[in-house]
Amino acid sequence: MAWPSRERPGIQIIKTHRCVGAGRLAAGVCGLAAWSSENGLCGEINPLSLAILPNENHSVRFFSSSTHTPMQSTDTRYQELLDWLKTDLDHAFESIEPASADASFRRYFRVRSGENTHIVMDAPPPRENVRPFVKVAGLLSEAGVRTPAVHAVDAERGFVLLGDLGNLNYLDALSEETVEALYGDALRALLTLQQGVSQETAELPAYDERLLRTELGIFREWFLEAWLGLDLSAREADILGEAGEILIESALEQPRVFVHRDYHSRNLMVLDGANPGVLDFQDAVIGPITYDLASLLRDCYVDWPSHRVHAWRETYRDALRDAGLLDDRGVERFNRWFDLMGMQRHI
């Protein structure tokens, strides 16, 4: 389950709905599908969703989840997706099932036709826009990075038919026996990505001071104040602000490259051929050279001993230098950049 839900540049709840019947749902008296139908929400709430009641305000908040619910039978988006496959594409298939959902309004289905499978992305406008995904998929493919092939696009309706990279991601495949080979592949692919996508021609958003400040503000507002319920003193707020300035300065002084923004074990797929297959790249930007490395090596889903992380970091630093992406000054500052980027990434 992707939890909590967010849509960059900030965390965002998929849906908050106030009603008297919210308590019935929270207490388990009625199911999500029945409650949504009663309150006129069918077709608005992702059928791969979880509803919770976090307080006594009679509001139900929905977060993206990979759990299938009976709402699919009354979901108008799902019916539109089926019509698009059958009518517009004339795509014959034997079955369709949920593949995954992420921390957004997007969801994915796997369609089967004999031995062949495809993935269908449902990204409902105006909440989602498939154009960045399609654009970045092309950039990465041209650079030599393995991504899902884009077979058909209806940008106006928010549907994309993709190649299927399978079910096995790095997180599920990692072990003491596989980690060195898999991370070696991931680091080589990252270097290919950073070398092969030109920041001058890619025309991607900048991971700039404004965005960095927005993300640091989210940490205070959503985590410290909303989640932990902390009321910071003036001195504590000053300390937090000073720490933020250090993180911003470090990020902005780094060389700029293509940044995936979620280059970690759940978005890297194990393939039969060259690894890895890369997913969830639609939020790519031009930003700090250590950002994706920190995402991979300081992965919030898996924890490796410091000596192993340091060895990978130094190997990659040397590769960047040899590729001409890092000068002598960058080599000297690289470890500090990496550590501070890891802090910023996780707050």
* Percent of all residues in the chain with a pLDDT value above 90, rounded to a whole number: 69
Kindly state the average pLDDT of the residues 260-270.
97
**Lowest mean pLDDT: which of 63-72, 157-166, 220-229, 278-287?**
63-72
Q: What is the DSSP letter of 89?
A: S
Kindly state the average pLDDT of the residues 35-56.
44
Task: Compute the radius of gyration of the chain from its Cα atoms.
Answer: 22
Kindly state the average pLDDT of the residues 286-311.
96
With cut-offs at 50, 70 and 90, classify the pLDDT of residue 14. very low
Q: Is residue 98 part of a domain?
A: yes
Q: Is residue 326 part of a domain?
A: yes
Which of 20, 47, 65 delimits the end of a domain? 65
Q: Mark whether 213 and 184 lie in a shared domain.
A: yes
Tokens 């209806």 sit on residue: 154
Which H or E run contains 55? none
CATH number of domain containing 144:
3.30.200.20
Q: Give 304's contacts (C-beta < 8 A, 6+ positions apart).
A: 179, 297
Tokens 């470090």 sit on residue: 250
**Lowest mean pLDDT: which of 26-40, 91-105, 133-147, 186-200?**
26-40
Which H or E run contains 260? none
First to last CA, the chain: 20
Q: Mark whether 227 and 97 lie in a shared domain.
A: no
**Strand pairing category for 10-11 and 49-52:** unpaired
So what's the pLDDT on residue 60?
A: 46
So what's the pLDDT on residue 181?
A: 96
CB-CB contact of 169 with 186 (8 Å): no
Domain range for 250:
170-346
CB-CB contact of 13 with 104 (8 Å): no
Kindly state the average pLDDT of the residues 5-18.
38
Residue 29 is encoded by which pair of tokens?
């008296």
Q: Is residue 50 part of a domain?
A: yes
CATH number of domain containing 222:
3.90.1200.10
Q: Mark whether 216 and 311 lie in a shared domain.
A: yes
Q: Is residue 1 part of a domain?
A: no
> Is a pLDDT exceeding 70 seen at residue 232?
yes
DSSP string across 262-288: --STTSEE--SSSSPEE---TT-EEEE
With cut-offs at 50, 70 and 90, classify the pLDDT of residue 52. very low
Q: Mark whether 187 and 331 lie in a shared domain.
A: yes
Q: Is residue 305 part of a domain?
A: yes
**Lowest mean pLDDT: which of 1-10, 112-121, 165-174?**
1-10
Kindly state the average pLDDT of the residues 260-273.
95
Which of 47, 65, 83 delimits the end of a domain? 65
Distance between CA atoms of residues 212 and 345, nearest Å: 10
Q: Mark whether 331 and 202 lie in a shared domain.
A: yes
Q: Is residue 188 part of a domain?
A: yes
What's the chain's length in residues?
A: 347
Distance between CA atoms of residues 347 and 345, nearest Å: 6
> Is a pLDDT exceeding 70 seen at residue 144?
yes
Kindly state the average pLDDT of the residues 306-314.
97
Q: Mark whether 229 and 158 lie in a shared domain.
A: no
So what's the pLDDT on residue 102?
A: 63
- Which has more pLDDT, 191 or 126? 191
pLDDT tens readout for residues 198-224? 988 899 999 999 999 999 999 999 999
3-state secondary structure the chain: CCCCCEECCEECCCEEEECCCHHHHHCCCCCHHHHHHHCCCCCCCCCCEEEECCCCCCEEEEEECCCCCHHHHHCHHHHHHHHHHHHHCCCCCCEEEEEEECCCCCEEEEEEECCEEEEEEECCCCCCCCHHHHHHHHHHHHHCCECCCEEEEECCCCEEEEECCCCCEHHHHCCCCCHHHHHHHHHHHHHHHHHHCCHHHHCCCECCHHHHHHHHHHHHHHHHHHHCCCCCCHHHHHHHHHHHHHHHHHHHCCCEEEECCCCCCCCEECCCCCCCEECCCCCCEEEECCHHHHHHHCCCCCCCCHHHHHHHHHHHHHHHHHCCCCCHHHHHHHHHHHHHHHHHHHC
So what's the pLDDT on residue 272?
A: 86
Q: Mark whether 251 and 295 lie in a shared domain.
A: yes
How many domains does one find in the chain?
Answer: 3
Q: Mark whether 158 and 230 lie in a shared domain.
A: no
Distance between CA atoms of residues 42 and 267, nearest Å: 30
Q: Mark whether 105 and 16 lie in a shared domain.
A: no
Q: Is residue 142 part of a domain?
A: yes
Kindly state the average pLDDT of the residues 116-140.
95
Kindly state the average pLDDT of the residues 106-123.
93
> Is a pLDDT exceeding 70 seen at residue 39?
no
Q: Mark whether 101 and 227 lie in a shared domain.
A: no
Q: Mark whether 125 and 217 lie in a shared domain.
A: no
Q: Give 207's contacts (C-beta < 8 A, 6+ positions apart).
A: 251, 259, 261, 285, 286, 287, 288, 291
Kindly state the average pLDDT of the residues 108-123.
93
- Give the distance from CA 8 to its chain's centroid: 9
CB-CB contact of 193 with 143 (8 Å): yes
pLDDT tens readout for residues 58-89? 444 444 443 344 444 448 899 999 999 998 88
Q: What pairs with residue 110 in β-bridges? A: 97, 119
Which of 138, 163, 188 delimits the end of a domain? 163
> Is a pLDDT exceeding 50 seen at residue 47?
no
* Percent of all residues in the chain with a pLDDT value above 70, rounded to a whole number: 78
Mean pLDDT across the chain, nearest whole number?
Answer: 83
- Which has more pLDDT, 263 or 59? 263
Structure pTM? Answer: 0.78
Q: Mark whether 128 and 98 lie in a shared domain.
A: yes
Q: What is the DSSP letter of 205?
A: P
